[in-house]
Amino acid sequence: AVMMGIDPADLGFPDDQYRVAAAADAVLAASPGVLPDGGLAALPEEFEDVASRFRRLADVPRATRIARMCEAVPASAGTYEPDH
């Protein structure tokens, strides 16, 4: 999304990329090399800010999340359509 010029926070993702990276590192510490499905949403209290965002995103159907991403692409980046 970022490479297409989209601000992830506009789509409901946490706005602090470094906080998300730290949260991902915490998940990876328990499962090296793999971010398991739901791993970010299941983080402990220390990362509740990140986990709650990912839980809310998980409640949004995948097709809806993809459509929102396509709609958020700035005109300068062109247009995108879902592949499904």
Overall average pLDDT of the 57-61 stretch: 94
Q: What span, in angstroms and rounded, lies between the C-alpha atoms of 61 and 26?
A: 26
Domain boundaries, given as residue ranges, for the chain: 2-77
pLDDT in tens, 26-53: 999 999 999 999 999 999 999 999 999 9
Burial zone of 58 (CB within 10 Å; 0-12 exposed, 13-18 middle, 19+ buried): middle
Q: Where are the alpha helices (DSSP H) in 1-84?
A: 17-30, 48-58, 62-72
- pTM metric for this prediction: 0.77
